[in-house]
Structure 1
Amino acid sequence: MKRTFLHGTARWLAGGCCPCLLAGMLLAGGAAQAATPARDLDLQAHRGGRGLAPENTLAAFANAMALGVTTLELDIGLTADDVVVISHDTALNPDHTRDATGAWLPRTGPTLRSMTLAQVQGYDVGRLNPASNYGKPFASQKPRDGERIPTLAALFALVRERGDGKIRFNIETKVDPTRPDDTAAPESMVHALLAEIDKAGMAQRVTIQSFDWRTLALVGRWAPQLPRAYLTTARTLRDSRWTLGLSAADFATTPLLVQAASAGGNAPVIWSPAFNNLTAAQVRQAHALHMTVLPWTVNRRADMARLLDMGVDGLITDFPDVLRDLVREREAAPPAGGG
């Protein structure tokens, strides 16, 4: 039996599940475009696929949908006038931001939270700064001058305009418990995000992810039907401010820590670790705990192949075209032993 990418192992299918989860499973299984080769593998375009188009822009998301990805991965923040905008950075990033005159920002700009939407959208984020090292891994990115930091509402509108009823959204709240003044508080951000999702009628297609697990606890209380993705990296696991006050040292493994943090509710739970140190044993344990495993950010073909062999449920990548082609090739290859 095939594994359903959104809800972990086949054991869930064999053992039965509640109707809301079953509906989510059916949605997830059909979430790929017709061009997507693997219906049960979640192919997520990181920031819309920043290896191919300017990150977190409508141009990137349109390109990713044209490629046939399963999920658009993106980040959000709140402006001073409480508009949900799509940006990985909490402040304007000089590596890919120009002002109204076309000049590159000489340094990090003001925070999104300190600017109105009109001010935020006065900047161009349609290409990489050639003087920056940031863009060197993304030399194949095609610039799109004139792209602005979009609103989440604009992305939902783009999806509706394209008539895409299947694409999913993996939305990360950019909140940092160590820098509380840089962003909206978790409560304000989650409230605004959920309102935007509800207004667009996209709740059945959204996962909320965060390194700051306070966000996910709020989602669990206010929108318990939404899947939650617990992002982890070595840095955040060392500081309990990120992990809802839980100490990673008190748990034998990270999947057990995620299990404790996500206790309660019946929505799917996803573990999204940094891919570098992920082991097959961790993947097996997470699946045994009924979690989906979605590593980030996997850009090298060899790493993609290794992780797929581990049995992960999907991959988050800047190069969704590479992952798409790899999966197609693997599906086309004859089974081991020529069976």
Structure 2
Amino acid sequence: MRVEIHGHRGARGLWPENTLPGMSRTMELGVHALELDVALTADRRLVLTHDLTVSAVTSADTRPVTPGDPAFPYVGKPINSLTLAQLRTLDVGVRLPRHPDDPFALTQVAMPETRMPTLGAVLGLVNAYAAESVRVHVELKSDPTRPALTPDPELYTEMVVDELDRHNRLRNAAILSFDWRIIGYAAKLAPDTRRFALVELDTLGWNGPLGDDIPAAARDAGATTLSPEHAMVDEKLMAQASRAGLEVAVWTVNEPALAARMLDLGAAGIVTDYPDRMRALWEERGHELPDPVEPLKPVGV
């Protein structure tokens, strides 16, 4: 069985998360899949962001989009209350605050003046690299307990599927969500696209009573892969996933010793902020390494 390295938010431990330069460098490092997060703006644009409100950790205000904009400052405001133009004024290239209590601030290369990209821009970038060996894993951020911040799941899923289709990526992508309503809609709209049911201890109740067999519940919701928080993974869960016919991709695993333990339990994928560490582990264990994507070059060079 091939085991895969999935770059989390690109590679959050190395470069600014959910950004074009971060995605470029992660592809050039070499991963099987790029994982990224999307949310929907007030003007119905799909943008890359992990949070449903503008994060003070990954985003910094620079200026209002127009003088006297009453919505400014934008940090802390709901993503769905702001337009793409407003969000594009944010600097998302420096992790804040930069202090020793944040492990990523110690390892992440700052890229000041980086702007929040759209999903379309990322898919265009991947296609510009001709990165057919790299799957794009799109997590649709959705929180059923906060409906004011969450788009209609059916419309939201349809928009993401349409964007993937527009860039000829449906067969080389995956749709991910903790909100399994989205998994069900994706199964109907894009049956040939992989679907990852995300699960963690804190959000187990989001999808109703799951019983004692979470993998079976995920399969019944339309998932093709179970993607649990690593703290949930044990022999019982892995055996249930096998009976349900689901592969398991474990998140977020940053230490090689933990990754080795997950692989020994049968994980098919490791979601990591540090794909460089996982590449070293893969080489040590003799697993197939994902090929680095060739850097972009000017035409004629």
Which band: TM-score by shorter chain? 0.7 to 0.9
Distance 1:138 1:301, change over 3 A: farther
Deviation at 1:98, TM superposition (A): 1.4
Deviation at 1:141, TM superposition (A): 0.4
Q: Distance in 1 between matches of 2:125 and 2:41?
A: 21
Q: Aligned ranges for residues 154-169 of structure 1 at < 5 Å?
A: 154-169=121-136
2:163 maps to 1:216 = no
Q: Aligned ranges for residues 1-339 of structure 1 at < 5 Å?
A: 3=1, 40-100=2-62, 108-130=75-97, 135-237=102-204, 239=205, 242-243=206-207, 245=208, 247-248=209-210, 251-262=211-222, 269-331=224-286
Could you state the TM-score of these two structures normalised by the residue count of structure 2? 0.87
Deviation at 1:296, TM superposition (A): 0.6
> What SS does structure 1 have at the residue aligned with 2:107?
coil
> What SS does structure 2 have at the residue aligned with 1:139?
helix
> What SS does structure 2 have at the residue aligned with 1:230?
strand
Deviation at 1:284, TM superposition (A): 2.8
CA deviations over 1:68-105 (Å, ceiling 9, x no partner): 10000011111111111111011111112111259xx9
> What SS does structure 1 have at the residue aligned with 2:9?
helix
Q: Distance in 2 between matches of 1:161 and 1:220?
A: 28
Q: Distance in 2 between matches of 1:275 and 1:175?
A: 21
Contact 2:38 2:139 in 1 (8 A): yes
Q: Distance in 1 between matches of 2:144 and 2:99?
A: 28
Q: Distance in 2 between matches of 1:260 and 1:83?
A: 30
Deviation at 1:107, TM superposition (A): 9.2
Q: CA RMSD in A?
A: 2.0
Deviation at 1:283, TM superposition (A): 1.4
CA deviations over 1:196-249 (Å, ceiling 9, x no partner): 111111101111110001111111122222211111111221x2xx21x4x12x
Contact 2:157 2:182 in 1 (8 A): yes
Deviation at 1:192, TM superposition (A): 1.3
Distance 1:301 1:120, change over 3 A: same
Contact 2:55 2:76 in 1 (8 A): yes
Contact 1:95 1:135 in 2 (8 A): no
Distance 1:316 1:127, change over 3 A: same
Per the alignment, residue 336 of structure 1 pairs with none
Aligned length: 280
Could you state the TM-score of these two structures normalised by the residue count of structure 1? 0.78
Deviation at 1:66, TM superposition (A): 0.8
Structure 1, unmatched stretches of 5+, are 4-39, 263-267, 333-339
Q: Which amino acid aligns with 2:82?
A: M
Deviation at 1:256, TM superposition (A): 2.4
Q: Which amino acid aligns with 1:279?
A: D
Deviation at 1:132, TM superposition (A): 6.4
Q: Which amino acid aligns with 2:260?
A: A
Q: Distance in 2 between matches of 1:226 and 1:162?
A: 21
CA deviations over 1:155-184 (Å, ceiling 9, x no partner): 111112222222101111101000011132
Structure 2, unmatched stretches of 5+, are 65-71, 288-301
Q: Distance in 1 between matches of 2:241 and 2:127?
A: 35
Q: Which amino acid aligns with 1:175?
A: S
Q: Which amino acid aligns with 1:259?
A: R
Q: Distance in 1 between matches of 2:128 and 2:184?
A: 33
